[in-house]
A and B are shown apart, each in its own frame.
Chain A
Amino acid sequence: MSSEPIERRVSYLGDRLKASRCRICGKEYFEARDYCGNCGRKSFGKMVSIDLFYDKGKLELCTLVKEPTNKFMKLGSYVYGIVSFHNGQIRVPGRLTDQIVHDGDAVDFSRFEGRDVIPRFRRRYSVGKSEVVPTISLAFTLADEYYPHQEYRVVEPSKEYDVPGIVGYGVYASRFRIREGNFERSVPFIDEDAVTAAVEAGKLALIHSGVDSSLVGKVYVGSESNPYAVKPIASKVAQVLKLGEEDEDVQGVDAVDTEFACKAASSMFKDAVSLVNYSKSGVNYAMVIGTDNSQAAPRGCPGGELDLFVGYGGSAFIFGKYDVIAEIEGWYSCTSDTPDFWRRDGELFPMHGGRFTGDPAYFKHIKKATTKLMEKLNLQASDVDYFVTHQPNPQFPVKVAKQLGFKDEQYAASLQINKFGNTYSGCSPIGLAALLDIAKPEERVLITSYGSGAGSDAYLLRTTNQLVDKRQRQKINVKFQAENPFVKYVDYTTYRRLKLGM
């Protein structure tokens, strides 16, 4: 049983890898410290807080763990060692994650030693079902593999826009995939979940936007696979990404979770732009994250049909009025009480209404929201450059796009279901990100999300010149992750085990 105060302190230091540096002699320490051992009393008040969250370390030494302690048992075998930062000034213990070491695999330690590694925010170890989920960033991945190192550079904004919109975004899909035919889906590593994907996506969005995290005054996290029934994901995101001004160990940010099946995140786009547009809110930037370790019963069980399409991943969009890359020109939302897909409290997996998830649910709401928005803005299908919608399977989005009069070239680039699967709350936003990755300035993008239960939000976006300028800041974009040569494919049994988590 982990104790809550210890859990809070370890997470506070370990999630962000907080460290400190003496301003007198320059000595660095892992963990926050009030004084320097070299300089003694005179260093009180002269320690500056630094952190290693966006840093790059070096794996100095390593060995193999084949018989972990009880709490790490579900990880199986893994490489463990000592990671140094800042030319050996700071040394921390760490585990290599995103690596499956099979029994009998020969592990050549010298192949890993000396390589650059990146701290990754992950679950720390297994605990009982009723306990707080422990996390830490003492998990590392190799910088020259799936996830390269990217610096987080805060950029002074150069231009204020009249119409608020997206100022940056990030998409995160794990390194692991299951491939069935031509259909690939993203699979979490065993220490990943909806919370870790939310943090990853948010981190990538901050890197892309160049926005100072302390100016983000609001964060919404939409998910239907939060490991907790009660306790927000958003609070973790706020603390790990240091959103809002930090005062002692409290972040000056409003953080809230939202839920509406697969539109939990996209619903909040309009709330985010409204908030940053309201001069008295004091909120410069608002972040919206959609994240899911999409749940599905195993094949052959009730609800098991979903298991063919579920993926894992997250997306994060930052909204504001400065250095906008896509202005939000308008939206339309619609809702009806249609129980086409649901998960009762306490149940592990969702159920769905079979053939009734189609016409009276998915198609009806998406078409309603899209046509209403087009009417409102006096648009024809041919007036927009790109269309993206929710992708629960490979067929539905194509069918609905055609019914709405969109042509293949308008929606084809948005279809990410074949690469990552249905990432639920992250799904249509990932499609939007894929379009923003390739769109030119002054293009119009129409996104219509869908959430079971049921409802849709349609938005019209217009890209700006700054879209292209910011693009080079993001190496880890949608295509990079979809076509990454370091992707590892797993079989169905491994996929189910990884998805279940630690």
Chain B
Amino acid sequence: MKNRPAIVAVGRTRFGEHYGKEPEKLIEKAWLAASNECDIERKDLEACYLSDCFLPITNKLGLEEGFLSELTELHVPMEVTRSVNAALLAACHAIQAGAYSTVLVGGIEKMTDRWDKIRDDLMLLDDPWSYYAGGTPETNHELMLRAYIKKYGIKGENLDKLNVALAQVSVKNHANATKNEYAQFQRKITVDQVLSARKAAQKPLGLYDFAPISDGASALILTNETLAKKTNAQPVYVLGCSSATDYLNFPARDDLTHFTATKLATKNALKMAGITPWDLQIVEVYDQSTVMEMVSLEDLGFCEPGTAWKSINESCQDYQGYYEINGGQLFVNMNGGLKADGNPLGATGGAQLFEIFKQLRGEAGERQVKNGQASPQFGCALELEGFGTKAYVSILGRE
């Protein structure tokens, strides 16, 4: 990527249930945290890219840009997207084009303000025909799992292993979240808990297989390479950033076992960054369900289709903090993932980028992963909108 955009600071709130807080309080907190980190003032911002998935529905806020303008007392150009990685992509394009040198990328969501209707909204936004037919936010994940099991002929002992592997995904993410002060759930769970929740639900997936609904905000400051080098000791560069799109209606898609959008976005992002999947040590995948984490490992190119559950299962027998895939170490969802860190849709991507930024800079504290003696050099965030209707892949790297 030419004119590499650089992330110079990140900030976020804890994800969870912020009943008493207005949306503006959350984004303010995230922005302040980022701004303090890099000594960039509000007035230095030349543009803002804000993401929220459905603030206009949950909080009856129509023109979110105006809301941000009031908050920052700025009149610079502002645009709204539905996910942080989408905002990042737009911001990167603007910086590369030389339009701006310093921009704010933020994300916010307040899902609990509409807890009573949120599942209808989510499903209707994801896939209206499936909603009309009686689908819920969970059903597509379960149908994808059934399709996966059938396509790869997974039976008997292997099926048990796959089911345990999915439970281990959740257990692993909960364990990671105990080291993350911002995570929604900071407690460990066991494989038995995951399995018995499925048994109670009489369904392929249960309570512990799904990410929660959450409130939260995240922010990052993006500058051009020159400015970043001047003002920041350890800028993290956006090396590749790409997206792809698939049908709204899940049953109508060609492939029911994988996300075509992820595969396409990954291919482009890796090409831009000039690296292979094996150069990545840390990835934050979009685990709205445990199935999504499993399938994403295949879509991102780490595992052959139909095999990720084996790698997960083997790695988690004696979990060392990473998945062992083809002899390599892959750190996945070190912040706890959507499952345990939380999933305030429009802010979630910010938490993923936050984690990679911190990990690459060696500032992740207890969660810090190592690449030999050093902190990792490359990391990747995969964010989805809808049920894989859109996929965003952002590859970050340090010098």
A, B co-complexed = yes
A136-173 contacts to B (CB < 8 Å): 136, 138-139
Is A311 in the interface zone, CB < 8 Å from B?
no
Given A91-B251, A93-B251: A66 in contact with B132 (beta carbons within 8 A): no
- Interface stretch, picked from A57-65, A435-443, A450-458, is A57-65
Our pick among A61, A69, A105, A136 for the contact of B143 (Cβ within 8 Å) is A61
- Interface stretch, picked from A40-48, A76-84, A277-285, is A76-84
Given A61-B143, A72-B134, A82-B251: A106 in contact with B202 (beta carbons within 8 A): yes
Give the chain B neighbours of A30 by CB distance below 8 A: 129, 249, 252
Give the chain A neighbours of B135 by CB distance below 8 A: 65, 80, 93
Is A493 in the interface zone, CB < 8 Å from B?
no
Is A384 in the interface zone, CB < 8 Å from B?
no
Our pick among B116, B133, B203 for the contact of A93 (Cβ within 8 Å) is B133
Is B139 in the interface zone, CB < 8 Å from A?
yes
Is A462 in the interface zone, CB < 8 Å from B?
no
Least CB distance, B249 to chain A, in whole angstroms: 8
Is A109 in the interface zone, CB < 8 Å from B?
yes
Least CB distance, B128 to chain A, in whole angstroms: 8
Chain A residue nearest to B147 in the complex (CB): A61
Q: How far is the CA of A59 from the CA of B389 in the complex (A)?
A: 23
Query: Chain A 87-128, CB within 8 Å of chain B: the 1/0 string?
Result: 000111111000000000111010001000000000011000
Interface centre among A90, A93, A113 (most CB of B within 10 A): A93
- Interface stretch, picked from B62-70, B117-125, B358-366, is B117-125
Query: Chain B 132-153, CB within 8 Å of chain A: the 1/0 string?
Result: 1111101100110011001000
Least CB distance, B212 to chain A, in whole angstroms: 14
Give the chain A neighbours of B251 by CB distance below 8 A: 82-83, 91-93
Contact (Cβ within 8 A) A62 B132: no
Query: Chain B 170-203, CB within 8 Å of chain A: the 1/0 string?
Result: 0000000000000000000000000000000111
Contact (Cβ within 8 A) B250 A93: yes
Least CB distance, A13 to chain B, in whole angstroms: 9
Contact (Cβ within 8 A) A66 B133: no
Give the chain B neighbours of A139 by CB distance below 8 A: 133-134
Chain A residue nearest to B140 in the complex (CB): A93
Least CB distance, A492 to chain B, in whole angstroms: 27
The dominant DSSP class at the A interface is: strand
Is B273 in the interface zone, CB < 8 Å from A?
no
Query: Chain B 279-316, CB within 8 Å of chain A: the 1/0 string?
Result: 00000000000000000000000000000000000000
Number of chain A residues whose Cβ lies closer than 8 Å to a Cβ of chain B: 40
Given A70-B120, A136-B132: A91 in contact with B142 (beta carbons within 8 A): no
Given A62-B146, A80-B134: A69 in contact with B252 (beta carbons within 8 A): no
A279-318 contacts to B (CB < 8 Å): none
Contact (Cβ within 8 A) B256 A61: yes
Give the chain A neighbours of B204 by CB distance below 8 A: 63, 109
Is B130 in the interface zone, CB < 8 Å from A?
yes
Give the chain B neighbours of A392 by CB distance below 8 A: none
Is A71 in the interface zone, CB < 8 Å from B?
yes
Give the chain A neighbours of B256 by CB distance below 8 A: 61, 82
Least CB distance, A156 to chain B, in whole angstroms: 37
Give the chain B neighbours of A67 by CB distance below 8 A: 119, 136, 138
Is B131 in the interface zone, CB < 8 Å from A?
yes
Least CB distance, B366 to chain A, in whole angstroms: 36
Contact (Cβ within 8 A) A80 B133: yes
Chain A residue nearest to B252 in the complex (CB): A91
Given A64-B202, A82-B251: A93 in contact with B129 (beta carbons within 8 A): yes
Contact (Cβ within 8 A) A66 B129: no
Q: How far is the CA of A2 from the CA of B227 in the complex (A)?
A: 51
Give the chain A neighbours of B202 by CB distance below 8 A: 64, 66, 105-107
Contact (Cβ within 8 A) B120 A63: no
Give the chain B neighbours of A106 by CB distance below 8 A: 202
B146-170 contacts to A (CB < 8 Å): 146-147, 150
Chain B residue nearest to A84 in the complex (CB): B251
Is A75 in the interface zone, CB < 8 Å from B?
yes
Is A222 in the interface zone, CB < 8 Å from B?
no
Contact (Cβ within 8 A) B146 A63: yes
Is A468 in the interface zone, CB < 8 Å from B?
no
Contact (Cβ within 8 A) B134 A63: no
Q: How far is the CA of A124 from the CA of B134 in the complex (A)?
A: 8
Chain B residue nearest to A81 in the complex (CB): B143
Q: How far is the CA of A139 from the CA of B201 in the complex (A)?
A: 23
Least CB distance, A107 to chain B, in whole angstroms: 6
Is A10 in the interface zone, CB < 8 Å from B?
yes
Give the chain B neighbours of A64 by CB distance below 8 A: 201-203
Q: How far is the CA of A388 from the CA of B133 in the complex (A)?
A: 41
Give the chain B neighbours of A65 by CB distance below 8 A: 134-136, 139
Give the chain A neighbours of B143 by CB distance below 8 A: 61-63, 81-82
Contact (Cβ within 8 A) B130 A93: yes
Q: How far is the CA of A139 from the CA of B134 in the complex (A)?
A: 9
Least CB distance, B162 to chain A, in whole angstroms: 15
Least CB distance, A214 to chain B, in whole angstroms: 27
Give the chain A neighbours of B130 by CB distance below 8 A: 93
B180-235 contacts to A (CB < 8 Å): 201-204
Given A61-B256, A69-B120, A81-B143: A94 in contact with B133 (beta carbons within 8 A): yes
Q: How far is the CA of A113 from the CA of B149 in the complex (A)?
A: 13
Q: How far is the CA of A124 from the CA of B138 in the complex (A)?
A: 19
Contact (Cβ within 8 A) B132 A138: yes
Q: How far is the CA of A69 from the CA of B123 in the complex (A)?
A: 8
Chain A residue nearest to B131 in the complex (CB): A69
B105-125 contacts to A (CB < 8 Å): 116-117, 119-120, 123
Chain A residue nearest to B122 in the complex (CB): A69
Give the chain A neighbours of B203 by CB distance below 8 A: 63-64, 66
Q: How far is the CA of A90 from the CA of B254 in the complex (A)?
A: 10
Give the chain B neighbours of A90 by CB distance below 8 A: 252
Give the chain B neighbours of A10 by CB distance below 8 A: 132
Contact (Cβ within 8 A) A138 B129: yes
Q: How far is the CA of A68 from the CA of B120 in the complex (A)?
A: 9
Give the chain B neighbours of A69 by CB distance below 8 A: 119-120, 123, 131, 136
Q: How far is the CA of A136 from the CA of B133 in the complex (A)?
A: 8
Give the chain A neighbours of B132 by CB distance below 8 A: 10, 14, 93, 124-125, 134, 136, 138
A-B contact pairs, 25 of them (CB 8 A): A29-B252, A30-B249, A30-B252, A60-B147, A61-B146, A62-B146, A63-B146, A64-B203, A66-B202, A70-B116, A83-B251, A92-B133, A92-B251, A92-B252, A93-B129, A95-B133, A109-B146, A109-B204, A113-B146, A124-B132, A134-B132, A136-B132, A138-B132, A138-B133, A138-B134
Q: Top 7 nearest A-B pairs by Cβ distance?
A: A95-B134, A138-B133, A63-B142, A93-B133, A93-B130, A91-B251, A82-B251
| Interface contacts beyond A67-B119, A80-B136, A91-B252: sample of 6 additional A-B pairs, CB < 8 Å, sorted by A | A61-B143, A65-B136, A67-B136, A70-B120, A93-B129, A93-B132
